[in-house]
Amino acid sequence: MQPAVIDGQAYELGMKFQSTQAGTINAIRFYKSSSETGTHTGRMWSSAGTQLASAVFTNETGSGWQNASLASPLSISAYTVYVVSANSNMAYVATTNGLASSLSNGPISTLADGANGVYSAPGAFPTQSYQSSNYFRDIVFTPGTTSVMSRSLNAFAAGHVPLILYDLHGRRVCQLTNAIELKKGRGNIGKGVLLAIPENRASENIRSCRAKLIVR
């Protein structure tokens, strides 16, 4: 973390992120410079710029991490980009290129798209970026209680991982690719077939197959 940037200007400073699991955002956080003054509001945005939630920071300390709880937890979807932001009034801390590579904390990870670390005028959706700077905006996240099966299907449907079929004896049946059609709410997987995506097997050269997977 670099020393505070003090330029006497006000900004909305933010960070783009996504989660591998659906869940809820309960609070917004930002790291406060000891030179910063005034009041602060944290905001949650969709990737399209719709404000989804906001919270005013109260009982702030002179510097360090500040926390503002949302009045109601904000539900977010897996593999969907969101932006968290909070305003600064005259000073902020930043690390140049701090978001050039993805940072992960559990299911949450930042985007390394070359344009993360975003800013705008106070209260506006932040879209501008300067050298992938990390402005230390963060969230408090609670993962949902989805099953391993649901997370696997969501990940496959989003195009992030393959699905691998195993029989009840642990023998591989085939690896399902994007030739599979997922239709939630109808049918079943099939008698005697288990579905799994073991991380230690995901890179194996397993034969592909064409099939239709219908999930209840």
pLDDT at 114 over 80: yes
pLDDT at 198 over 50: no
pLDDT at 87 over 50: yes
Q: What is the mean pLDDT of residues 54-69?
A: 97
Q: What is the mean pLDDT of residues 79-97?
A: 95
pLDDT at 189 over 50: no
Determine the pLDDT at residue 144: 82
With pLDDT > 70 as the criterion, what percentage of the chain qualifies? 65
Determine the pLDDT at residue 20: 87
pLDDT tens, 134-160?
999 999 999 886 555 555 566 655 666
Residue 143 exposed, middle or buried by CB count within 10 Å (0-12, 13-18, 19+)? middle
pLDDT at 200 over 60: no
Determine the pLDDT at residue 7: 76
pLDDT tens, 21-38?
889 999 999 999 999 999
Separation between Cα atoms, residue 129 and residue 116, nearest integer Å: 6
Domains and CATH numbers, the chain: 5-143 (2.60.120), 148-215 (no CATH)
Determine the pLDDT at residue 21: 86
The count of C-alpha atoms lying within 13 angstroms of the C-alpha of 216, restricted to the half-sphere facing its C-beta, is 5
β-strand 23-32 against 172-176: which pairing, if any?
unpaired
Q: What is the mean pLDDT of residues 52-59?
A: 98
Provide the pLDDT confidence category of residue 180 given band limits of 50, 70 and 90: very low
**Listed residue (113, 201, 140, 123) closest to 165, CA to CA:** 201
pLDDT at 183 over 50: no
Determine the pLDDT at residue 173: 59
pLDDT at 195 over 50: no
Written as six digits, the tokens of 16 are 């783009």
Q: What is the mean pLDDT of residues 164-173?
A: 57
pLDDT at 184 over 80: no
More confidently predicted of 75 and 204: 75
For residues 41-53, one letter each, b for 16 or more C-beta atoms within 10 angstroms of the residue's C-beta and e for the rest, the string is bbbbbeeeeeeeb
Provide the pLDDT confidence category of residue 108 given band limits of 50, 70 and 90: very high
Q: What is the chain's mean pLDDT, rounded?
A: 78
Provide φ and ψ at 68, rounded to 5°: -130, 115
